[in-house]
Structure 1
Amino acid sequence: MFRDDDLALLARPLYAYLTVAPHGERWPAPRPVWFELAGNGELQMFSVLGAPKLDRLRERPRASVVVAAPPGEREYWVSVEGSVTLHDEGGIELAARLAERYWDMSNPGYQKVLDEWRASGAVRIVLHPEAVTRFAA
């Protein structure tokens, strides 16, 4: 499903823009999230407990993400859509791994945020790819 260029992009510490079904009459509003590509091709993200996106994903367990190369590089993006499962286990462990990937954990402020996540809990969001589209300039 993923091409080599897709895998190279998804291996980088870039933001994924997660879009879930909106609540009520609202329009879909993508949110930047950290992610990890699992060995089986699934995308894993996390959310702190109580985040509105978790309620929306429970109501309609589908989502899409878009990951794009940053400005200054050749334009390239990958869009992944599919069903979503939510998992109570593994959320904090994923958050800690991703914090190491995205932040300089020698910064005490970042360590404090991670400690707050550990105290409050996190849900692991797994996107099971059903369709992948891409663009390269």
Structure 2
Amino acid sequence: MTAETLSPQDLSFLARPLCGFFSTAAGASPPQPRPVWFEVTTNGHVQLFTGSDTPKVRQLRRDPRASLVVAAPVGERERWVSVAGPTTLASDGAWELVERLAARYWDLDDPIRAQDLAQMRDEDWLRVIIEPEIVRRYAM
């Protein structure tokens, strides 16, 4: 299957601090989406972070296929983007991604959020990188 690319409109939408819903290929089990922070990389992949010993990592090691769906919040016109494809797990750059996304989604001038981020430093993080093979979208 050839990879699809995100359109300029998709990239603009995905640059916002929206929650994505991440699902792994679950075989006989129905998908169990989880809300995640994410970013689009310069090469058009989508990445997020997770703990190294989570159920999603164990599932991705069995079957690397996954998807992420991002929808506009309530009060905006209906819009969503879905990206699906194979994933890669990487430890390099994981903490930097955590820090970058924390700054995007949280006000780190808030001492409580700054403390939350400091406590996250002790975790063992991985980057989950989705290479888009299928991109679907809807916008009104």
TM-score normalised by the shorter chain: which range applies?
over 0.9
Q: Secondary structure at the match of 2:134?
A: strand
Q: Are 1:72 and 2:75 counterparts?
A: yes
Q: From 19, 25, 40, give the equivalent of 1:21.
A: 25
Q: CA deviation at 1:48?
A: 1.7
* Consecutive aligned runs of 4 or more in structure 1 exceeding 6 Å deviation: none
1:11 matched residue in structure 2? 15
The whole-number CA distance in structure 2 between the counterparts of 1:51 and 1:105 is: 26
Is there any run of 5+ residues in structure 1 with no aligned partner, and where? none
The whole-number CA distance in structure 1 between the counterparts of 2:105 and 2:68 is: 18
Please tell me whether the aligned partners of residues 48 and 117 of structure 1 are also in contact (alpha carbons under 8 angstroms): no
Number of matched pairs? 136
Q: RMSD over aligned Cα, in angstroms? A: 1.4
The whole-number CA distance in structure 1 between the counterparts of 2:52 and 2:116 is: 14
Q: CA deviation at 1:83?
A: 0.4
TM-score normalised by length of structure 1: 0.93
| Cα displacement string for residues 22-68 of structure 1 (whole angstroms, at most 9, x for unaligned residues) | 37x54211111000111110001000232111111111011000111
Q: Secondary structure at the match of 1:22?
A: coil
Paired amino acid for 1:136: A
The whole-number CA distance in structure 2 between the counterparts of 1:72 and 1:5 is: 19
Is there any run of 5+ residues in structure 2 with no aligned partner, and where? none
Q: Are 1:42 and 2:52 counterparts?
A: no
Q: Secondary structure at the match of 2:92?
A: coil
